[in-house]
A and B are shown apart, each in its own frame.
Chain A
Amino acid sequence: MAHYTAAQADTFPKLLMRDAEVFGDRPAIRHKDFGIWQTWSWAQVLENVRAFSIGLETLGVKKGDTIAVVGSNRPRLYWAMAAAQAIGAIPVPLYADSVADEMAFVLEHAEVSLAVVEDQEQVDKLLSVSERTPKLQFIVYDEPRGLRDYDHTRLKSFADVQEIGRGELKASADRLARWEASVGATKTDDLAIILYTSGTTGRPKGVMLTHENVLVSARNGNAFDNLTEKEEVVAYLPLAWVGDHIFSYAQSYVAGFCVSCPESPETIVEDRREIGTTYAFAPPRIYENLLTLTMVRMEDASAFKRRMFHYFIGVARQWGEKILNKEPVPLHARLLYGLGEFLVYGPLKNRFGLSRIRVGYTAGEAIGPEIFRFYRSLGINLKQLYGQTEASVYITAQPDAEIHADTVGKPNIDVDVKIADGGEVLFRSPGVFIGYYKDPEKTAEAKTPDGWVRTGDAGFFDPKTGHLKIIDRAKDVGKLADGAMFAPKYIENKLKFYPNIKEAVAIGDKRGFVTVMLNIDLTAVASWAERNNVVYGSYQELAGHPRVYDMLAAHVDEVNRSLAEEGIMAGAQVRRFLILHKELDADDGELTRTMKVRRGLIAERYAPLVTALYDSSPEADISTEVTFEDGRKGVIAARVKIRDMTVHQLAAPTLERAA
């Protein structure tokens, strides 16, 4: 067997061979199946990847071919990526919840010749668009259920392909050496992966990253937080997202830590609790959901428990962050916090599956400062990170004990960051992508000739802390008609902190004042309705209920008050708002697959509502086309009411003009 030192292992397959040698029997990956955690050691992973890789080669996959990987986080799908890389093929992970049409676009664009998918659902999707993907030769599936009666000429099970590989290995003595030679032939600046960004505008773009891009970023990320082979990570984010690729794949290969794949999407919290994750990564949405769920449950708890909870959360709010940052605190606070840890924080962290957490990151979008502080006050070392697919994630991150709710931290190891004249953030690092697949035009737009990458985000370095602050997407930051600054995401994030508000879309660029469209959070509002005897028959009816409007009006008023206190934002207070009759949905194209709002498209789709928001009518009619989960379409029609808000004035003379 060929040997690779840490320095020589500069591609994924080489790294895998090194891990199998160095970590051998240590667990590499787990999957909960049939109620039991099944574990594979690094040596076993190598054997599995090798067998599949040779199987792929026998099926005709060559160096430079692209193979699609579709499904939720499963060991075999991660192995498929390494197996492809070992023979110089390039994996292209797809968002598993994409509808068939979106998948067809990527399969076609990336010229995929073979797809490794999770189950029948994905097989069906790929088969349904097969006439658009003539290059697709084989579909390999992990989960055989329901596929027994399918035509198997172009369909293979993962195990079958591995058997082909194992058969080849047995049949000829030099097959192993030939495979290892192909691993040896992989070069660090070879293309390692193409990640299609879901993009808040337009068709997805294929970001090409080399082994070096991904592995150097992973290595630096590990160094930044001292990650070792002892970490426990739960993989549950989409495979196609660069975050998962770095955290659950690259960092694991580099550090040798074990990644656990949950049993099903519904069991993640329970599974995380069993594993006791030490290093976690999630977009703000996940943390928001956990908090919402907790708050809703506490409302249903007995009066005693509720009082205890709120009392100790108050204690944590006052002292928790100081204790986490190792600042001096009085003895009585330490004792009280200790009692709170025993009675409330400990059990709560156990519920969240975060009892053993050492480092937790939130990224992808700005997190509400209140949510951020909530987790930190419980003693969870949650930090913010700013990254992009084009950077192999890392641009900036917060070092331990330098945590501020409103910044995204300092440039990561080996990363240079500068602010362009227009306020746009630019970066340069070893993780910088080589280009968009088959799109030199877009590549040239994003990369400057001297190697800087435009992030498209507006930001500035905070002179006090030296940390980077992101305001909004550069193109989204606008001005109201009177010239006051309008940063929609800033307002939306403030609104979304309230558990009752799931999504918010702020409008106001070049207009006289700011208006918002809100989505209620069904879990939170339904529970409130039950407690307050509010009767409703559907989502639509609940969303339009006058008492729900009253409740949200109170939230909007609080947001206006806090905007009024912030000087430059005071002009951007919300004058009118409405509650949408349907949830914004990625299937309708209103959100991206990573759940960011597509502002432009929403403004178009709900044009009658936007018009009504600005022509002072008390309500408006709207009918929208919706896509159901199985791809069928329907129409929802509704009459949506609009509420007027009063604007808060501040005494300070400089702000009067803006307000």
Chain B
Amino acid sequence: MRAPSEKEAKTAEVLLAIEDVSLSFGGVKAIRGVSFDIRKGEIRAIIGPNGAGKTSMLNVINGFYHPQEGRITFRGEQRRAMRPYAAAQGGIARTFQNVALFRGMSALDNIMAGRTLKMRKNFFWQMLRHGPAMAEEVEHRRKVEEIIDFLEIQHIRRTQVAKLPYGLQKRVELGRALAMDPDLLLLDEPMAGMNLEEKEDMSRFILDVNSQYGTTIALIGHDMGVVMDLSDRVVVLDYGRKIADGTPEEVKSNQAVIDAYLGVAH
């Protein structure tokens, strides 16, 4: 039950703008001249059939791929290319389609790893785990415990993530991304491979992250139902092109989208 006032409260301020971005690998054009924006505080979905270029788009946003053409503006700063490290420092965090956790480490350590960029004390102090480094670690640990509490994963705090069921691994991964205090959170197929109950849980967490921390979220999904319920605005890609952009209702009734999903001869 979300109060109606909340959606109105979201500002129209643009956090990230994609303009005429094209990306190709050799002769394969993954993205062709796509433009859209992500506004501050919204949940923005990127959907499309398989191979539409959704993940490539995410990789462009967080600087993993460098588009051949187009401009990306993040928080008013324009850029063509950026390294993922810089994107992470700039406040963009992400999760992956195939869970990418440190499998041999505990859930706690994995989420703690998300704080790495925020650690200011040098390696020497950290190795000693003493004095200022310890004080800093306590501070980071508090933040991590808040996230553990938020995601309701107290019971697996000390469990090696490789031993966890898939749904919980996804939750730990979300926790690690949250640990970066991101301004923009990119979620690549957050519900892929989940059962109904896990999907419902994950949806609740995504909504809570958005409302409680005010984090802007861009998510990829191919489960139309879930994505439509969650997001404020949806952009639809097909064969690397943008075919629709708007509120879930608008997109649902768009003929091009229906064709793309049901399949027509191209």
Q: Which of B148, B150, B200 contacts A35 (CB 8 A)?
A: B148
Known contacts A34-B145, A127-B1, A263-B154; 9 additional CB pairs below 8 A are A33-B149, A35-B157, A145-B208, A146-B208, A148-B212, A264-B155, A267-B154, A267-B155, A629-B197
Given contacts A34-B142, A34-B145, A35-B145, contact A146 B211 (CB under 8 A): yes
Stretch at the interface among B2-10, B72-80, B84-92, B247-255: B2-10
Q: How many A-B residue pairs have CB under 8 A?
A: 43
Q: Restricting to A33-48, which residues have a CB under 8 Å from any CB of B?
A: 33-36
Measured CB to CB, the closest approach of chain A to B213, in angstroms, equals 11
**B6 near A149: Cβ-Cβ < 8 Å:** yes
Q: Specify which chain B residues have a CB less than 8 angstroms from the CB of A150 in the assembled complex.
A: 1, 3
User: Does chain A have a CB within 8 A of B146?
Assistant: yes
Contact B1 A264 (CB under 8 A): no
Which B residues are in CB contact (< 8 Å) with A101? none
Binary per-residue interface labels of chain B (130-141) against chain A in the complex, 1 for a CB within 8 Å, 0 otherwise: 000000000001
Cβ contact within 8 Å between B154 and A149: no
Please tell me if B152 contacts chain A, counting CB pairs below 8 Å: yes
List 28 A-B pairs, Cβ < 8 Å. A34-B145, A34-B146, A34-B148, A34-B149, A35-B145, A35-B154, A35-B157, A36-B145, A145-B150, A145-B208, A145-B212, A146-B204, A146-B212, A149-B3, A149-B5, A149-B6, A149-B211, A150-B1, A150-B3, A151-B3, A263-B154, A264-B152, A264-B154, A264-B155, A266-B155, A267-B155, A629-B197, A630-B200
The distance in angstroms between the C-alpha atoms of A34 and B148, with both chains bound, is: 8
CB interface residues, A 97-117, toward B, < 8 Å: none
Q: Is A270 among interface residues, defined by CB-CB distance under 8 A?
A: yes
Among A12-37, those with CB < 8 Å from B are 33-36
A148 contact set on B, CB distance < 8 A:
211-212
Interface residues on B, range: 20 to 34
State the CA gap A270–B2 with chains docked (Å). 35
Size bracket, chain A contacts: 10 to 19
**Chain B, Cβ-Cβ closest to A127:** B1
Q: Which residues of B contact A264 (CB under 8 A)?
A: 152, 154-155
Residues in B lying within 8 Å of A, measured CB to CB: 1-3, 5-6, 141-142, 145-146, 148-150, 152, 154-155, 157, 197, 200, 204, 208, 211-212
Closest 4 CB pairs of A and B: A266-B155, A34-B145, A149-B3, A267-B155
**In whole angstroms, what is the CA distance A36 to B138 when docked?**
12
Whether a CB of chain B sits under 8 angstroms from the CB of A124 is: yes
List the A residue with the shortest CB-CB distance to B158: A270
Q: Find out whether the CB atom of A149 lies under 8 angstroms from the CB atom of B2.
A: yes
Which residue of B is nearest A34, CB measured? B145
B5: min CB distance to chain A, Å = 7
Q: Which residues of B contact A263 (CB under 8 A)?
A: 154-155
Kindly provide the distance from the CB of B148 to the nearest chain A CB, expressed in whole angstroms. Answer: 7
Nearest-neighbour CB distance to chain A for B6, whole angstroms, equals: 5
- Which of B152, B155, B197, B204 counts the most A-chain CB atoms under 10 A from its CB? B155
Q: In the complex, what residue of chain A is closest to B143 when comparing beta carbons?
A: A34
B154 touches A266 (CB 8 A): yes
Which residues of chain B come closer than 8 Å to A146, judged between CB atoms?
204, 208, 211-212
**Contact A124:B152 (CB < 8 A) given known A34-B145, A145-B208, A146-B208:** no
CB distance from A401 to the nearest CB of B (A): 38
Complex CA distance for A267 and B141, rounded to whole angstroms: 19
Chain A residues near B152: list those with CB within 8 A: 264
| CA gap between A36 and B144 in the complex, in Å | 13
> In the docked arrangement, what's the CA distance between A36 and B157, Å?
12
A146-B208, A263-B154, A270-B155 as given contacts; A124 in contact with B1, CB under 8 Å? yes
Separation of A145 and B3 alpha carbons in the complex (Å)? 15
* Chain A residues within an 8 Å CB radius of B211: 146, 148-149
CB proximity to B under 8 Å, residues A134-172:
145-146, 148-151
Cα(A454)–Cα(B2), bound, Å: 50
CA gap between A42 and B152 in the complex, in Å: 29
A151 to B2, CA, bound (A): 10
Tell me which residues across on chain B come within 8 A of A630, comparing CB atoms.
200
Q: Give the complex CA separation of A58 and B146 in angstroms.
A: 32
Chain B min CB distance to A353 (Å): 14
Chain A residues lying within 8 Å of B2, measured Cβ to Cβ, are 149
A267 to B, closest residue via Cβ: B155
Q: Smallest CB-CB separation from A150: which chain B residue?
A: B3
Residues of A within 8 A of B204 (CB): 146
A266 vs B211: C-alpha distance in the bound complex, in angstroms?
A: 26
Q: How far is the CB of A247 from chain B (nearest CB, A)?
A: 24
Q: Which residues of chain A are within 8 angstroms of B148 by Cβ–Cβ distance?
A: 34-35
Residues of A within 8 A of B149 (CB): 33-34
Find chain A residues with CB under 8 A from B197 CB: 629
Whole-angstrom distance between the Cβ of B263 and the nearest chain A Cβ: 30
* Min C-beta distance of A231 to chain B, whole Å: 25
Q: How distant is the Cα of A42 from the Cα of B19 in the complex, in angstroms?
A: 63
Which of A124, A146, A263 has the largest number of chain B CB atoms within 10 A?
Answer: A146
Residues of B within 8 A of A149 (CB): 2-3, 5-6, 211
> With a CB–CB cut-off of 8 A, which chain B residues contact A35?
141, 145, 148, 154, 157
Give bound CA distance, A264 to B150, whole Å: 12
Which residues from chain A contact B200 at a C-beta distance below 8 Å? 630
Note all chain A residues with C-beta closer than 8 A to B155.
Answer: 263-264, 266-267, 270
Residues of B within 8 A of A266 (CB): 154-155
C-alpha gap A36/B146 in the complex (Å): 11
A148–B212 CA distance with the chains assembled, in angstroms: 8
* Distance in angstroms between the alpha carbons of A266 and B157 in the assembled complex: 11
Inter-chain CA distance A33–B211, complex, in Å, is: 22
> Using an 8 Å CB-CB cutoff, how does the interface string of A204-224 with B read, 1 for contact, 0 for none?
000000000000000000000
CA distance A70 to B200 in the complex (A): 24
A151 to chain B, nearest CB (A): 7
- With A and B bound together, what is the CA distance between A13 and B148 in angstroms? 36
How far apart are the CA atoms of A573 and B142 in the complex, in Å?
59
How close is B146's CB to chain A, nearest CB, in angstroms? 6
Minimum distance in angstroms from A129 CB to a CB of chain B = 14
Q: Which residue of B lies closest to A265 (CB)?
A: B155
Q: What is the minimal beta-carbon distance from B134 to any residue of chain A, in angstroms?
A: 16
A267 cross-chain contacts in B, Cβ below 8 A? 154-155
Report the separation of the CA atoms of residues A33 and B148 in the bound assembly, to the nearest whole angstrom. Answer: 10
Nearest CB to that of B1 among chain A residues? A124
Question: How many angstroms from the CA of A151 to the CA of B157 in the assembled complex?
Answer: 34
Taken together as a complex, chains A and B put the C-alpha atoms of A150 and B6 apart, in Å, by 10
**B200: shortest Cβ distance to chain A, in Å?**
8
Chain A, residue nearest B9 (CB): A149
- Give chain B residues whose Cβ lies under 8 Å from the Cβ of A33: 149
User: How many angstroms from the CA of A430 to the CA of B263 in the assembled complex?
Assistant: 77
Q: How far is the CB of A130 from chain B (nearest CB, A)?
A: 12
The smallest C-beta distance from A260 to any residue of chain B, in angstroms, reads 15
CA distance A380 to B1 in the complex (A): 48
Q: How close is A628's CB to chain B, nearest CB, in angstroms?
A: 9
Bound form: Cα–Cα A264–B146 in Å: 14
Measured between alpha carbons, how far is A149 from B1 in the docked complex, in Å?
9
